[in-house]
Structure 1
Amino acid sequence: MPRQTISTPEAPSSPLFSQAVRAGSQVFMSGTTGVDPATGRMAGDDIQAQTRQAMTNCEAVLRAAGATLDDVVEVGVLLADPGDFAGLNEEYARWFATDPPARYVARLGPAVPGLLVSIRMTAFSA
């Protein structure tokens, strides 16, 4: 089965990895941060603002792949500071209010100045 790289200017990008890759009906999204693609800067200094922007970016990549948040089956979250867990959950619950996908949260390995959260997703799309 051939793989298709997914790219959209509505989310941050890097020459080092694809925003997402589709293989058949599965969409595998790379870790996505709270960078505002319009400015190239973090969307804010707190976990809620960065989580909101990261989720907005994830939604844009899903849309480019022909999927929506309703198609997400797994979410992986990496936090720079485990103390931000409650704030992450506060914003995250707004995006998956009912029937949320499977999820894990772990600590982000590398220290990147200003970066509080990275979110990746796996989804199915027709």
Structure 2
Amino acid sequence: MPQPYIEHVNLTVSDPGRMAALLNRLFDWHVRWEGPARDDGRVIHVGDERTYLAVYTPAGGADADIFAKGRPLNHIGILVDDLDDIERRVTEAGLVPFAHADYDPGRRFYFLDFDGTEFEIVSYA
């Protein structure tokens, strides 16, 4: 059996189209699929051929209280080759990089998306 890996993470967002566009812009990913989801919601699968984020919103939108930091998700880590390029893209998207660090095993920074979900961008290059 091949080594198990995380195929996808399903993340509730306030606007799946806006989030899909951000992920495409930052990471050069693409929409793998989109359509109806549970509770009459909408979901878009954004990623590459192996892994993706499913960005979902229920019908009528998501309750704002679910976006409280760390409830229960602390952050999503994305591994990249060119940390500086991704930081530039994050800034160009109107988001603010923070908590820059350089320690083993690599360099990193964080940003909050439009809903306040935290992303860690890391490079081992």
Q: Same fold (TM over 0.5)?
A: no
Q: Based on CA coordinates, which of the two structures has the bigger radius of gyration? A: 2
Instruction: Decide which structure has greater strand share.
Output: 2
TM-score normalized by the length of structure 2: 0.31
Higher relative contact order (CA 8 A, sep 6+): 1
Instruction: Decide which structure has greater helix share.
Output: 1
